[in-house]
Amino acid sequence: MQCQTVLPGTECTFWSKQGCNFIGNSCQTVVDECQGCDRAVEGTIGHVCSVAPSPKQKWAQGLCNMATHRKVEIQSTESKSVNPLKASKKASAKKK
C-alpha cells in the first residue's frame, strides 16, 4: 500500500489499513553514514531512506548493503588464472 505519512504516495510494504506497521509506526531519519547516498530522500520528518525504514539498523553490522555512495572493496590475492589445457600445450610445444 502507499505510505500516507512520511513519504505520501510511495509504495511501502509496512503500510497497512491500520497505518504504518514499522517500529514506532514510522520510518526513521537517515544517519551520518548515509550522507551522499542516492537513496536518501526528503520526507515529511526529514531525510529518510527510500528503501529501508531504519538506516541505523542498516549500518549496525557495518557497511549498508544498499548504499550507493560506498562499496565494499574486494581485493583478490590470486594471481592471474591460467587455463591448464593451454598451459599444457604451451609446455609441450617448448619441449619440441
Query: Does 39 contact ligand SF4 by CB under 6 A?
Result: yes
Q: Which is nearer to ligand SF4, 20 or 40 (CB)?
A: 40
d(CA 22, CA 53): 8
Query: Does 45 contact ligand SF4 by CB under 6 A?
Result: no
Query: Does 27 contact ligand SF4 by CB under 6 A?
Result: no
88: which DSSP letter? H
Query: Does 58 contact ligand SF4 by CB under 6 A?
Result: yes
94 φ/ψ angles, rounded to the nearest 5 degrees: -70, -30
Residue from 27, 34, 43, 53 touching ligand SF4 (CB under 6 A): that is: 34
Q: Which of 42, 44, 33, 43 is nearest to 66 (CA)?
A: 33
- DSSP collapsed to 3 states, 48-65: EECCCCCHHHHHHCCCCC
Q: Which is nearer to ligand SF4, 61 or 83 (CB)?
A: 61
- Residues within the interface to ligand SF4 (CB under 6 A): 30, 34, 37, 39-40, 49, 51-52, 55, 58, 64, 66-67
